[in-house]
Amino acid sequence: MPIIRRRSRKLIVAGLAGAAVMGAVGGGTTMYFIQDLKEKQSMERSKYEQRITELEQSQLLHLNTMKTAWVPLKDIPPGHRIEAKDLKEVRLPADAAPANLASLKDEVEGKGAKIGLLKGTPITRSMLFEEAPTPDDLRHREMKAVYLPSNLIKGDVVDIRVQFPTGQDYIVLSKKKIDKLQTPAFWTTLSEQEILLLSSALVDAYLHQATIYALTYVEPELQAKAIPTYPPNEEVAKLIASDPNIVQRAEKQLETAVRRLLEEDLRERNTEQQVQMSEIHVVPALAGTARSPDSWSPASSGGQTTSDRSTGSFPAGGSEEVNEPRVERDVEAEQILGGYGLETSATTAAEGTQDDELIFSAP
């Protein structure tokens, strides 16, 4: 019994010793791996920190070499004056930024756009033009005595020219913007010198049957301002000084001519429309007879032609019953025409007799 106990005790001791040795070996191995892992992590951390430092230095250098730019927050049309609320500051790489980039806000704010600027487009100095300060003698001026292009719209820029019957053609006013348009009248701004030059040209045109007309610029933001070439007439200046009302009479006469031309154009257009509408109402029974729209009027002798009246007969294949649809067509024609010819002649006569009572803008 004691022998068994002694043997058991030895086995237990041996097992404990083995376990202790194995634990020591395992613990040493674990500590070794942990230490090795810590060293590797430390090395990786050092590499990452070094890389981050390099990237930060590169980014800082990159930021220091970037240029400031200004971009519009919305599309800006040509000729528009750029305001502070239209701009946003951005940064561009130096190698990608144009040489003439507008980096200061003062270089952009208050300037005009030569071309259309799209939203987010970096603005360069070549895209802008300097707007001249408003002079003290600048005034709004309404004009009706100028022949205008048919495609003129608000915002266009024009030169006002005068052409004499001899073929001589001069620039009176250059690069004037159409602030408001209501054909045949338009509004623009003139300085005192331009007002006097225009007055001289109006009187010259009145005395010598000249024509004052407007020509539009193709690219007003890119094209330079034309130099006025009209030479003020000394005799006209004396006439204006002796009779200040001569300018108003001259402009009134020219306005009447422009208005008369406009009415003629409208009359021709209305006549063409009336002819097209009247052709729709032709009755098939009378399609073979050659009759003008004027013969549908009640003043066309009851709708009969000269030969019919002389013989007392009706058109071939017709009878007295034809008068009934003819009367209906006369009524339709009168409704379509609406007494246009009578109203036009009355209007023309009224304009001829009451020309002095018409109201026009004073210079």
70 is a domain residue? yes
148 is a domain residue? yes
What is residue 347's predicted lDDT score, i.e. its pLDDT? 44
What is residue 162's predicted lDDT score, i.e. its pLDDT? 94
Mean pLDDT by 10 residues, the chain (363 residues): 68 77 80 83 86 84 79 88 90 81 87 88 87 77 90 93 93 93 91 86 88 92 88 74 72 77 77 69 42 37 39 40 50 47 42 41 40
**Which residues are paired to 70 by β-bridges?**
89
- Structurally, the chain folds into a number of domains equal to 2
329 is a domain residue? no
261 is a domain residue? no
151 is a domain residue? yes
Domain termination residue (choose one: 129, 149, 173): 129
Using the CB atoms, write b or e for 198-215: b if 16+ within 10 Å.
bbbbbbbbbeeebbbbbe
Q: How far apart are CA 15 and CA 26, in angstroms?
A: 16
280 is a domain residue? no
Clarify whether residues 118 and 146 are in a common domain: no
Domain termination residue (choose one: 189, 217, 243): 243
- Host domain of residue 71: 66-129
Clarify whether residues 178 and 111 are in a common domain: no
Tell me how far CA of residue 157 lies from CA of 29, 45, 138, 215, 226, in angstroms: 91, 68, 17, 8, 12
Q: Which residue in 186, 191, 188, 173 sits closest to 232, CA to CA?
A: 173
Q: What is the dihedral of CA 161, 165, 168, 171, to 10 degrees?
A: -10
Clarify whether residues 159 and 113 are in a common domain: no
User: Cis peptide before 298, with omega less than 30 degrees from 0?
Assistant: no
Clarify whether residues 151 and 83 are in a common domain: no
Clarify whether residues 116 and 202 are in a common domain: no
Clarify whether residues 167 and 189 are in a common domain: yes
Mode of pairing for the β-strands spanning 128-129 and 112-113: antiparallel
Domain termination residue (choose one: 84, 99, 129): 129
Clarify whether residues 121 and 160 are in a common domain: no
Clarify whether residues 123 and 218 are in a common domain: no
Clarify whether residues 100 and 150 are in a common domain: no
CATH number assigned to the domain comprising residue 78: 3.90.1210.10
Clarify whether residues 79 and 170 are in a common domain: no
Clarify whether residues 186 and 215 are in a common domain: yes
Q: How far apart are CA 148 and CA 349, in angstroms?
A: 26
What is residue 328's predicted lDDT score, i.e. its pLDDT? 55
Clarify whether residues 121 and 158 are in a common domain: no
285 is a domain residue? no
Q: Is the pTM of this model over 0.85?
A: no
Contacts of 85 (CB under 8 A, 6+ apart): 73
328 is a domain residue? no
What is residue 36's predicted lDDT score, i.e. its pLDDT? 81
